[in-house]
Structure 1
Amino acid sequence: MTKPVKIFLLVALFALYYLIPVEFRALWQPDETRYAEISREMLANGNWVTPHFLDLRYFEKPVGGLWINSLGQWIFGHTNFAVRAGAIGSTTLTAVLVYWLGVRLFNQRRVALIACVIFLTSVLVYGVGTYATLDPILTLWLVASMCSFWLAAEAKTTSRRVMGYALLGIACAMGVMTKGFLALAVPVLAILPWSLWQKRFKELLLFGPVALVVAATVSAPWALAIAHQQPDFWHYFFWVEHIQRFAQADAQHNAPFWYYVPIFLLGSLPWLGLLPGALLIGWRARRESPGPGYLLCWVLMPLLFFSLANGKLPTYILPCFAPLSLLLAHYGTTVAPATGRMLRANGWINAGFGGLVTVALLTVLAPWSIVGRPLYTSAEVFRLLLAVMAFASWAVIGVLTVKSPSHRWTWAALCPLGVALTLSAAIPERIRDAKQPQSFIETVAPRMSASRYLLADGPGVASQLAWSLRRSDILLYAQQGELRYGLSYPDAQHKYVSREAFDNWLAGHRREGNVSLVLLLSSDDEKPEVTTPPDFIWRQGRLVYLEYDHIP
């Protein structure tokens, strides 16, 4: 296969995964709709220092990642792709860094290129990399940090080494401004044990301050600006968003120590069969060259750190998949073909996974479910068939790789492709109505646009309303959620209406114009709990739209 053909296939694979299907997927709430609206408001109000969400101060995240997300909407407009452009662009640049590091470590472009493919097609990377959240952006800066340190570690001159540490400082600063001090912890956790093992700790002490000074210099302008605009930002951000989230017993997203084991394994699909061998070979090769040991520290130390923390989310371990992709590519290219046993095992794992999900769809989740709780209704057989075809193709590709594992093992990159292309059309309406309110809002948007006041019972639906209608004056009803702190300011009291106060509030405010209320109920059978009957009601699954006419 010629080089132009390989480049064409790589570009086509990237487009089929990351470009073509993304625009057709509705935004998920609460994460995607939140970051879509925060970035839209940043463009609208011109405040690039303090993030605002529904016109409220939003201190849960710094501003760096929001800058990148805003850039996506500035370039591509008010579209679903634009909302996800920051995540997609960051994932793409991370893959480029994976290639760069692969060439440096193994001196083989083929290994580096396959590592890119493995990275871009791993389930966790793809799932998060096409999802509008800050984790792909943070991962870019963390991978840039680790690449910068490697550049410094292999430098032959002092000036080049200083440049490597300076780049490390820039990447760490951008990571801190994207998601906080976690951007400092991950590189330190990986770099420190490797430096001790390689007996380069003195070098780290000598040049490390360069990175610290550069990081402080780069982040200082925004850090001082936010402290000037919002004096309590750093207290809230450091204590609540770092100490409480990760360390306290009641930390947000609390989960057991082993939580990341299944996430790590499933996230490695469709390359799971290569995982044991890649980690083992990385351990054995550490004595021959420093590169595999560096990658191994980079995979295992952050994974252990996040496992020890009380607060856990699947996206936290995303940075581990960059070095893991290099280990998998190295093993699959240079070691595994000798016997083909693990390459064949990887094919059978993919065949089994695709087949198992296909059987589950047809027997458990279908309208004729044998357990009596189907996910798809009788009117959604076409959606079900699309899902079946997607996972059946996963199984078929797995079987094809088994027949000639040494030559076809990279075909595993095609396993998730059917899911990627059919995801938006195969999602059951029950999930769509609860997690993707975009179609619901588009249906009632003409009526909403005429309302003087819009309320929603939670930040998730409220952010979708705000982004879809391009208005940030949405009021919160009954639930404050993550906006509790922003609502505590005296100038934000009017942005929240409790359930108990709603009737009195409604009686006064409908004199100024129509009032609309959107509710996300806990089940399809639940009835809206409102005392004052609406003049118009529209329901789609768990989402309910209530409209109260203007009474002069």
Structure 2
Amino acid sequence: MRRVESAPRAYTRSRSDGRTRSRALRVPEVKRIFFGPDFEVPAWLPGALTLLLLLPGITRSFWDRDEAQYAAIARDMEEAGHFFNPELFGRPYAEKPPLAIALTAVSFRWLGETELAGRLPHVLLFSGASVLLFLIGRRISDPRRAFFAAMMLPTSLLGLLCGRLVLTDSALLFFALAAVFFLLDVLGGRRSLRAACLAGAALGLGVLTKGPVAALSPGLFAIGHCLGSRRVDRAARRRLFLSAAVAVGISAPWFLLQSFATHGEAFRSFWLRENVERFLHPLERHSGPVVYYLPVLLLGFFPWSGLLAGVWNRRSLARDSVGWGLWFWAGGVLVFFSISATKLPTYLLPLLPAVALLIARSSDSADPAVSRTSRWLTAGVGAGLLAASVAAVSRFEILSDAPAILWPLATATLPFLALPLFPKRTGTSARMLGLALAGSLVLSLFLPPILDHARCWAKLGRRARIERLRAEEVGTVRLSEPALGYYVGTGGTGIWRSREDMIRSTAVSPHRSFLACITATDAFEAARDGRIHVRILRRGWNLLEDGPHEAIELCRLTARHG
């Protein structure tokens, strides 16, 4: 006899005479249909929810240093029509491979030179990474756990921030997860030749995005998977070598052509400085202790960092090949960047998918209760996050703007501070996911306009572009800010090393007019010097520069006659 599916019985009721009659759909039945064990999670759902979280605020001005620099490179590439020869203000740029920046340049050409066009490719790639994480989780677990793991990525603080910026990290994450997805076929029972080629193609595109670091996550997963299986047959080894060959074949030609075209300068700049020297020595003052990434992981993975306490159980430590692969992935990335001399919080982004999958696989059910230890750890990390935010605001002495800056963080964080007060049976991971989605949406809607108001570079740069119709030079004093150069326009800005250097440059050219973005103190001292005339054009607040409460002035400097 054919078994009647459970879902249709929510809509009909059988009668003794064999007929059925309809009845109203009740709330418990809706919950059973959409949140019960029979519910099929569609693959597009994680990507759609990620888009919902990342799209708000992407029209705001570029405020991160690297984001503005990559946008300026993409603009120059689009204007020159050379999508695989990065240039910054007319000079060759060999510090990063071109793929992620080229996607931004193509978006500029199709959609215009706007912040929306610059950020849209990276938002789409990050949303695609959420879908790939769901597909990986579905392969190694069940759809409910896979969805839970996939949504940890965009609802974590680090993912929510990096997913909307014009950086190389979103593209790197997408191609790394694509390589891991196809490696599951290569290392599993299928051993597909097509999967091996696709894994190599994804790996090669990742190398063209950020260099050899793209091979770190897929390589560690493959090594751990092979060690966990204890036996890798000849066919699987051949497929792995094929993937590596395809990756080299895709990425190597561009690096070779660039090295020949620049007479070895591209090789020295990228391979030696950006990889070897960056690993051995801290560059651009980005350094930290060996334990630097432990607090970064706790804060950047919030509100899910508390669930790390539940990973250390027998289920997640089981000796299966996938578990070994995930542990090698997570542990290897953490150790590699911890011993690297140059440290940045965004370097930890490739670690988050592995940690999310480990957390999802460690649970005993699709909707497990969050343990008391995890709830207290989540509340402690949330309290630390709020305390750090208050300390940062106090350091920059912008107490008048403190409520505007802190209330979105407080709104998103306070519910997690109350987790220890709830009974264990009500503190399930599904309810926690609902809180994370709501908090992430609050941050996406209200934090970007606040940061846009606090960072003055777009306002000053647009005013400088207007004033530059009569000016011959724009510069900054002791400030290197790519965002100002981007909004000033092609050519960027000059940098005077000191106030005296600015005064000398202006005084020796009495017939030229200068624009300067300097601190209020420097503007006052330059005017008091008497050799130049200072006219304030615009004021602005700079939230994240060194030094507290720096007021930035856009000034017109003209040498005095006589």
TM-score band w.r.t. shorter chain? 0.7 to 0.9
1:167 paired with 2:198, answer yes
Alignment of 1:69-80 (within 5 A): 69-80=104-115
Name which of 183, 190, 194 aligns with 2:214. Answer: 183
Distance 2:479 2:231 in 1: 49
Given that 2:228 and 2:324 are in contact with CA atoms closer than 8 Å, whether structure 1 keeps it comes out as no
| Pairing partner for 1:272 from 305, 327, 332 | 305
Q: Which residue of 2 aligns with 1:244?
A: 277
Contact 2:133 2:150 in 1 (8 A): yes
The whole-number CA distance in structure 2 between the counterparts of 1:460 and 1:360 is 26
SS at match of 1:280: coil
Which residue of structure 1 aligns with residue 516 of structure 2? Answer: 517
Q: Which residue of 1 aligns with 2:471?
A: 451
Corresponding residue for residue 284 of structure 1: 317
Contact 2:409 2:443 in 1 (8 A): yes
CA deviation after TM superposition for structure 1 residue 50, in Å: 2.3
Residue 510 of structure 1, CA deviation: 6.2
Could you tell me which residue of structure 2 aligns to residue 255 of structure 1? 288
Alpha-carbon distance, 1:354 to partner: 4.6
Structure 1 or 2: more helix by fraction? 1
Tell me if 1:57 matches 2:92: yes
Compared CA separation, residues 199 and 245, structure 1 to 2 (3 A):
same
Which amino acid letter does the alignment assign opposite residue 278 of structure 2? R
Give the equivalent residue in structure 2 for 1:320.
Answer: 351
CA 1:260–1:356 in 2, change beyond 3 Å: closer, same or farther? Answer: closer
TM-score for the superposition, normalised by structure 1: 0.80
Classify 1:442/1:473 alpha carbon distance in 2 versus 1 (closer, same or farther; 3 Å): closer
* 1: CA distance, partners of 2:315 / 2:340: 26
Secondary structure of the corresponding residue to residue 543 of structure 1: strand
Aligned partner of 1:488 in structure 2 is none
Contact 2:104/2:119 (8 A) holds in 1: yes
Matched ranges for 1:314-353 at <5 A: 314-332=345-363, 334=365, 337=368, 340-342=369-371, 344-353=372-381
Task: Determine if the alignment matches structure 1 residue 441 to structure 2 residue 461.
Answer: yes
Task: Compute the displacement of 1:261 (Å).
Answer: 1.0
Tell me what 1:546 maps to: 555
In the TM superposition, what whole-angstrom CA distance separates every residue of 1:322-358 from its partner, at most 9, and x where no partner exists?
A: 1221222233462873xx352x554454455555656
Is the partner of 2:536 in helix, strand or coil?
strand
Which consecutive residues of structure 2, in runs of 5 or more, have no partner in the other structure? 1-30, 542-550
Q: Answer yes or no: is the 8 Å Cα contact 1:347–1:401 preserved in 2.
A: no
**For each residue in 1:261-314, what CA deviation from the matched residue of structure 2 results, as whole angstroms up to 9, or x when unmatched?**
1111222211122212124345432x2x32222222211112111112222211
| 1:11 Cα deviation from its structure 2 partner | 7.1
Q: Which runs of 5+ in 1 are unaligned?
A: 480-497
Aligned to 2:495: 477
Whose Rg is larger? 2
SS in 1 for 2:133: helix
Identity, % of aligned positions: 23
* Residue pair 2:62, 2:68 contacting (<8 A) in 1 also: yes
1:46-445 map, 5 Å: 46-106=81-141, 108-156=142-190, 160=192, 162-201=193-232, 203=234, 205-231=237-263, 232-248=265-281, 253-281=286-314, 283-285=316-318, 287=319, 289-332=320-363, 334=365, 337=368, 340-342=369-371, 344-354=372-382, 375-378=397-400, 381-383=403-405, 385-392=407-414, 395=417, 404-406=426-428, 408-414=431-437, 415-427=439-451, 432-433=454-455, 436-443=456-463, 445=465
Matched residues in 2 for 1:183 and 1:39: separation?
21
Query: Quick one: which amino acid aligns to residue 270 of structure 2?
Result: F
Q: How many residue pairs align between the two structures?
A: 508
Alpha-carbon contact 1:376-1:428 (below 8 Å) kept: no
Question: 1:151 offset after TM fit, Å?
Answer: 1.8
Which SS does the other structure have where 1:518 is aligned?
strand
Alignment check: 8 A CA contact 2:50 2:127 kept: no
Deviations 1:361-398 (A, max 9, x none): 78x678xx8xxx67433476555555544444554688
Please name the residue that 2:7 is paired with.
Answer: none
What letter is aligned with 2:356? S
Using the alignment, how far apart are the partners of 1:302 and 1:358 within structure 2?
Answer: 28
CA distance in 2: counterparts of 1:537 and 1:306, whole angstroms: 45
**TM-aligned CA deviation for residue 187 of structure 1:** 2.8
Cα distance, 1:220 vs. partner?
3.6
Distance 1:390 1:535, change over 3 A: same
